[in-house]
């Protein structure tokens, strides 16, 4: 017993104390970022795990804390549109697109991929010639970035491969004792990550559907391409890894197959497997709650989640993208 306790004590000593901040003491959180520490913070999409984007050793800590593969680049978050031009080399050929998009959608759930400027550390871009930049809508996020006075590199605040953190408690679950600070706020309004739009190509290409729908983008730019699975792997390194997956096995039922859910419920019941059915009846609540639903299933030790597909219109496209990635089995009819 004694040695067990000592071992645990030693491990605890190696953990750090994670400080919790709120809107009223953002200054403390910003100071940690300036010192090269990690601070998780809310955005309208999901919580982000932030570091000073110009400090390579701070950025490295993100990869360690998340156990994230080093070849998966990060999004740089800014608080003023003009800061984009310090980070990205917006050529004259891309200027019109960038102006239209930032006028229409920033601050908001849209990440732009552009050629990088050379002072951006390789750790942020995973050595790519391009860089991802976003100006979040969340006032708290923008205030924190302003107070830090530097651009903030931030992936979603979750252990690599797990559903993104959309609640303060998710971030605490994954990072308590592993990062210097967390800014506590309400659940993320959108609950799904930003739309990633590649502007380095001849036609603007959606690499990851997200909180801003493709139909909104099409109102501003006439031609938008949706990248197919294969192209995604080449262009957006993050796409090749397992994502958004709870420990539970996710079985996704396409619309035509939803009537088969009871059959599967019976099948697993007979085998004594703890099963839960997820049938969204309201897409807005569903996108906001999806990652909480997946995480809750793990907490409740659910072994199999039977999930009904939603229509792929607007934010439904993003919901289905995430569900397909978290699914181990897809039932078509």
Provide, rounded to whole angstroms, the least separation between the CB of residue 330 and ligand TXA. Answer: 21
Is residue 111 near ligand TXA by the rule CB under 6 A?
Answer: yes
Spatial contact of 175 and 13, defined as CB atoms under 8 Å apart = no
Cα torsion 257, 263, 269, 273: sign: negative
**173: exposed, middle or buried (Cβ count in 10 Å: 0-12, 13-18, 19+):** middle
Provide, rounded to whole angstroms, the least separation between the CB of residue 237 and ligand TXA. Answer: 5
DSSP track, 86-100: HHB---TTTHHHHHH
Q: Determine the number of helices (DSSP H) and then strands (DSSP E) in the chain.
A: 13, 15
Is residue 156 near Mg ion by the rule CB under 5 A?
Answer: yes
Residues 132-171 that bind ligand TXA (CB under 6 A): 132, 134, 154-156
Residues 196-235 that bind ligand TXA (CB under 6 A): 196, 207-208, 235
Cβ proximity to ligand TXA, 49 vs 302, nearer residue: 49
Residues 252-271 that bind ligand TXA (CB under 6 A): none
185-195 b/e (C-beta count within 10 Å ≥ 16 → b):
bebbbbbbbbb
Cβ proximity to ligand TXA, 165 vs 316, nearer residue: 165
Measured CA to CA, the distance from residue 220 to residue 238 in angstroms comes to 27
Residues 46-105 that bind ligand TXA (CB under 6 A): 46, 48, 72-75
The entry of ligand TXA, Mg ion, none near residue 185 (CB within 5 to 8 angstroms by kind) is none
Provide, rounded to whole angstroms, the least separation between the CB of residue 149 and ligand TXA. Answer: 19
Compute how many residues bind ligand TXA; rule: CB under 6 A: 29
Cβ proximity to ligand TXA, 32 vs 133, nearer residue: 133
Is residue 111 near Mg ion by the rule CB under 5 A?
Answer: no
Measured CA to CA, the distance from residue 274 to residue 301 in angstroms comes to 8
Provide, rounded to whole angstroms, the least separation between the CB of residue 289 and ligand TXA. Answer: 16
Residues 74-93 that bind Mg ion (CB under 5 A): none
Spatial contact of 88 and 113, defined as CB atoms under 8 Å apart = no
Question: Taking contact as CB under 5 A, which single stretch among the options 19-27, 148-156, 180-188, 253-261 is the one that binds Mg ion?
Answer: 148-156
The entry of Mg ion, ligand TXA, none near residue 108 (CB within 5 to 8 angstroms by kind) is none
What own/partner pairs with CB < 8 Å and gap ≥ 24 does 275-280 have?
275/302, 275/303, 275/304, 275/305, 275/306, 276/248, 276/300, 276/302, 276/304, 276/305, 276/306, 277/305, 277/306, 277/307, 277/308, 278/305, 278/306, 278/307, 278/308, 279/307, 279/308, 280/308, 280/310, 280/319
Q: Would you state the structure tokens that stand for residue 241, as one six-digit string?
A: 């890894």
Spatial contact of 83 and 151, defined as CB atoms under 8 Å apart = yes
Is residue 42 near ligand TXA by the rule CB under 6 A?
Answer: no
Measured CA to CA, the distance from residue 255 to residue 265 in angstroms comes to 17
Provide, rounded to whole angstroms, the least separation between the CB of residue 278 and Mg ion. Answer: 21
Provide, rounded to whole angstroms, the least separation between the CB of residue 92 and Mg ion. Answer: 33
Cβ proximity to ligand TXA, 102 vs 130, nearer residue: 130
| Coil/strand/helix, residue 39 | strand
Question: Taking contact as CB under 5 A, which single stretch among the options 99-107, 154-162, 225-233, 272-280 is the one that binds Mg ion?
Answer: 154-162
The entry of Mg ion, ligand TXA, none near residue 188 (CB within 5 to 8 angstroms by kind) is none
- Residue ranges binding Mg ion (CB under 5 A): 156
Q: Enumerate binding residues for ligand TXA (CB under 6 A).
A: 43, 45-46, 48, 72-75, 111, 113, 125, 128, 130-132, 134, 154-156, 193-194, 196, 207-208, 235-239
């Amino acid at each position: 017993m004694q040695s067990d306790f000592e071992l645990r004590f030693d491990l605890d000593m190696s953990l750090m104390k994670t400080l919790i901040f709120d809107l009223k003491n953002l200054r403390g959180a910003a100071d940690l970022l300036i010192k090269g520490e990690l601070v998780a913070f809310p955005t309208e999409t999901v919580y982000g795990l932030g570091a000073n984007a110009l400090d390579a050793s701070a950025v490295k800590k993100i990869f360690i804390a998340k156990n994230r593969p080093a070849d998966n680049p990060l999004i740089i978050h800014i608080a003023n549109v003009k800061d984009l031009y310090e980070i990205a080399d917006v050529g004259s050929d891309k200027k019109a697109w960038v102006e239209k998009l930032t006028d229409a959608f920033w601050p908001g759930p849209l990440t732009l991929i552009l050629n990088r400027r050379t002072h951006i550390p390789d750790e942020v871009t995973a050595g790519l010639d391009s860089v991802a930049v976003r100006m979040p809508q969340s006032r708290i996020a923008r205030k924190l970035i302003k107070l830090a006075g530097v651009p903030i590199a931030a992936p979603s605040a979750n252990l690599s491969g797990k559903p993104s953190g959309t609640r303060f408690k998710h971030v605490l679950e994954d990072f308590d004792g592993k990062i210097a600070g967390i800014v506590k706020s309400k659940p993320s309004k959108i609950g799904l990550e930003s739309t990633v739009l590649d502007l380095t190509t001849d036609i603007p290409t959606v690499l990851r559907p997200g909180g801003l729908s493709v139909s909104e983008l099409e109102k501003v730019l006439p031609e938008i391409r949706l990248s197919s699975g294969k192209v995604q792997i080449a262009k957006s390194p993050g796409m090749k890894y397992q994502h958004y997956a709870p420990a539970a096995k996710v079985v996704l039922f396409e619309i035509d197959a939803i009537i088969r859910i009871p059959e599967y419920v019976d099948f697993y019941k007979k085998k004594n497997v703890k099963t839960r059915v997820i049938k969204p009846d309201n897409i807005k609540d569903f996108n906001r709650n999806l990652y909480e639903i997946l995480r809750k299933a793990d907490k409740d030790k659910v072994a199999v989640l039977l999930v009904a597909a939603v229509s792929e219109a607007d934010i439904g496209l993003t919901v289905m993208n995430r569900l397909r990635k978290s699914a181990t089995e897809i039932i078509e009819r």
